[in-house]
Amino acid sequence: MTPEKKNVALLSVCQGLLITNNSILLTTNGLAGFALAADKSLATLPFTAFILGAALTTMPASLLMRRFGRRTGFMLGAVFGILGSLVCTAAMVTHNFWLLCGGAFLIGVYNANGQYYRFAAADSATASFKSKAISLVLAGGILGGLLGPESSKHTKDWIVDAVFAGSYFSLSLFCLVSLVVLSRIQIPPLTAAEQRDKGRPLIEMARQPAFIVAVLSSVIGYGSMNLLMTATPLAMSACQHPFSAAALVIQWHVIGMYAPSFFTGALIKRFGVINMMLAGVCTSLCCVAVALSGNAVINFWIALVMLGVGWNFMFVGGTTLLTECHTPSERAKAQGINDTLIFLTMAASSLSSGLLFTLKGWVLMNQMAVPFLVLTGAAIAWLGYRRRHAR
């Protein structure tokens, strides 16, 4: 096996473990927060703390990896994941809502580092293999889609009189396995010349039309997905659907997010990155239509699968397009600002998710996603027209 394919395989496993943790958090955080919070409108605040922890450390993580290498940054992130998981476990045992938020924040630091797995795969890939390397690493997330929600169901009552404490404790075990796997990756560091070269100013890179559209696709893809995904367990609970049904829907949503990655890279090579990003916008809009058509489990199931697929096309497309906009010496800045904006959007959407659901309900939340998706689709189409006109 070539070094680039070995790295992709190892990073794909780590992606699977990362998404296992994320899907357990997604399934449990809203309900755990609802159980502990005095003000029920703050039920999604622990998940917001998780996103905020990632948002605040995304750029520092990127700069740290530029200085000390990908493997060091990834392993440090896994250590934060272990610590955060244990803090969340203690929070459920002591019934402390704010301690739960603090632990979730620390797990967010792990997530911030883990989001660079896809870029690390691209670092060591040839130009022709780059989009496929990104999508194959993301495909590892299907492991999380299968393992995460199932783990949350079987571990939530591990600790007596502390529901979900066992689920949080299991996160530390997954982080420990990830730490071992990460010790085996070999990503080539920047050369001495690349370390010295600071590249273009960030504002100059950000003025590129392709950069703007790449970031917009990833940000809106993540933001709209997170807005609806975070509220889904609460919406299903309000509709009197059992926890097992919510766990199943989230499980298939995560599968919808990552299973397409087995062929998204090939589709991008075949149809072009612009067309795949547009397909993602259309699929996300179809998700909203299904969600608004009824409150049965099947509606939630179909809508969340489509939401996952739409996110995949927009996110993999946006990531691939972003790699065209920077040199190796500039990637820390470009990737850092891209993922920082993603996490800030996710923090805003997850915080507003609980408030919007409590005050306005599931229908309005879906309707709010539409104008953002339409705007993104228009921007992608504009870039496609610009590129065809230039040719």
Tell me the pTM. 0.78
Query: 274, 258, 254, 332: which is closest to 63 by C-alpha?
Result: 332
Q: Please, which residues have CB within 8 angstroms of residue 132's CB and are 6 or more apart in sequence?
A: 125, 265, 266, 269
What are the CA-CA distances from residue 368 to residues 174, 217, 277, 360, 365 (Å)?
A: 35, 17, 20, 11, 5
Task: Let me know how many helices (H) and strands (E) the chain has, helices first.
Answer: 17, 0
Q: What is the pLDDT along the chain (391 residues), one digit of tens a residue?
A: 677 788 889 999 999 999 888 888 877 877 788 888 777 777 778 887 888 898 889 999 988 988 888 899 999 999 999 999 999 999 999 999 999 999 999 999 999 999 899 888 888 777 778 778 888 898 888 887 778 777 877 787 788 777 888 889 999 999 999 999 999 988 877 666 766 777 788 888 889 999 999 999 999 998 999 888 878 888 898 888 987 888 788 878 888 988 898 888 889 988 999 999 999 999 999 999 999 999 899 999 999 999 999 999 999 999 989 988 888 778 888 888 988 898 888 778 877 777 777 777 888 889 989 999 999 999 999 999 998 887 7
Query: CA 68 from chain center: how many Å?
Result: 24
Distance CA 190, CA 149 (A): 38
User: Which range of residues forms the domain containing residue 381?
Assistant: 3-390
The answer to whether 270 touches 317, Cβ cutoff 8 Å, is no
Provide CB contacts within 8 A for 130, sequence distance 6+. 122, 320, 323
Extract the tokens encoding 351: 């915080």
Total structural domains within the chain: 1
**CATH code at 379?**
1.20.1250.20
Residues 6+ positions from 204 with CB-CB distance below 8 Å: none
